[in-house]
Amino acid sequence: MDKLWSGRFSTNSAKILEQFNASILFDKKLYKQDIIGSKIHAEMLSNIGVISFEEKNYIIGGLDKIYQEIEDNEFNFKIADEDIHMAIEKRLVQLIGDVGKKLHTARSRNDQVALDLKLYVKCSNEEIRVLLLDLINTLLSIAKEHINTIMPGMTHLQHAQPISLAFHLLAYCFMYKRDVERLVSDNDRNDYCPLGSAALAGSPYKIDRMFCANKLGFKSPTFNAMDSVSDRDFVIDLLYSISMIMLHTSRFAEELILWSSSEFNFITISDSFATGSSIMPNKKNPDVAELLRGKTGRVYGNLVALLTTMKAIPLAYNKDMQEDKEAIFDSIENVTICLKVLNSMLKEITINKDSMLKKAKMGHLVATDLADFLVQKKNISFRDAHHIVGKVVAYAESRGCDISELDESELIKQDSNLCGAKEILDLEKSMNSRDSFGGSSVNRLKEQIKIIQDFLNEQTK
């Protein structure tokens, strides 16, 4: 019997239980965090006199050797070891003898796994933030080049009002900005070290939890040992934040799919980020954007799965919580590749400005401007103005043209109050007339660009 906890048991575990119970096949991903946490724990034990200075050095030297073995793919992960914590501890004892058995003094696998996972989440949070900032920077660069690229702004996927491509892309910049801020908030809220909570009630040893927290990069130890080993809020927080990132990415991907179709022809996706058909040689499919959209459902599933797992678990630690790791590992891996791919694809997209402008001349995008003209210049109520312009739109439809193509005499025939209105039926003037804070005018776009640029500068200091 080779289990580190086997003293209380008289028979070996069933083979099928080993397979069912073990997490080593996926939690081995936490080896760096486990070794870092163990080294700091050993330092603390030495500082308080539980182990000697020499024993600490033996332990740290052994852990360094194990780290290198794993890095060099020379470490033998065995399902019988159950998890990464026991696998490393068993190897440590093989390397340095009984001194290695002292490492687990004043801690439990409960606070050990909480620490490892929290360190992993903390690091992943920062890596995702960096990718988001890179993506925002790419979007901002494209936006700066297309402040005057006019396109149809839509509601209900119907042409609504003229905007610029810059205005549209800046909307996504602000979405992703909120995602970065959400990640920052997640990190700040969960920046507490669980090491030293032990199984659930703390330790009888005079441990120095503040030392461990500081050395491991946390602002403080956690405040309640039972909460510390039971808590997976920090995992759920990151799963939610990733879900929001993927929500925004999926919406953008949907628009890229539409924009790349022949019906829109707003953009051309590079051959490097498109695929063909096995049967139709004419096809160029936006598979990358479709996968970005599709992976969002997978990420949502991970969030809901862990919420469901945690919803009825009594305090403190329960084995159910082992199900947290595959969910968060999968979501982190997917959001990471999605952000990298989207960023790379955007850098190679071709913007079809003429096609955007052509589509902006369809759908009567300046109709609201005509109504506003009647309100502002002719003192007509907006409801009455709305009715008058509706008649103008119907007339243009009957002629098979856009209202911007009607001449002055045709406008006046619909209503005499439209005298002098022709000059306002200009797409660029329409776009720039919306000069309220946050609006589509060039002046307001420059303000929005500065807000995003200042945010990027602040985040990358």
| Degrees, nearest 5: CA angle 78-84-87 | 50
Among residues 19, 251, 17, 23, which one has the least CA distance to residue 116?
A: 23
pTM score, two decimals? 0.92
Structure tokens at 445: 């776009």
Residues in a beta bridge with 150: 164
| Assigned CATH for 110-203+223-357 | 1.20.200.10
Give the pLDDT score at 278.
Answer: 73
Domain borders along the chain are 12-105, 110-203+223-357, 360-459
Q: How confident is the model at residue 13 (pLDDT cuts 50, 70, 90)?
A: low
Which residues are tagged catalytic?
156, 277
Over residues 312-339, mean pLDDT: 96
Structure tokens at 35: 């070794």
Give residue-wise pLDDT tens across range 62-117.
999 999 999 999 999 999 888 999 999 999 999 999 999 999 999 999 999 999 99
Cis amide prior to 316 (ω within 30 degrees): yes
Is 2.30.30.60 the CATH number for 12-105? no
Give the pLDDT score at 1.
Answer: 40
Q: How confident is the model at residue 38 (pLDDT cuts 50, 70, 90)?
A: very high
Residue 186 has pLDDT above 90, yes or no: yes
Residue reference for tokens 């209202």: 403
Q: How confident is the model at residue 314 (pLDDT cuts 50, 70, 90)?
A: very high
Give residue-wise pLDDT tens across range 151-181.
999 999 999 999 999 999 999 999 999 999 9
Residues in a beta bridge with 161: 153
CA distance 123 to 183: 11
Least confident of 169-178, 191-200, 400-409: 400-409
Fold (topology level) of 360-459: Ribonucleotide Reductase Protein R1; domain 1 (1.10.40)
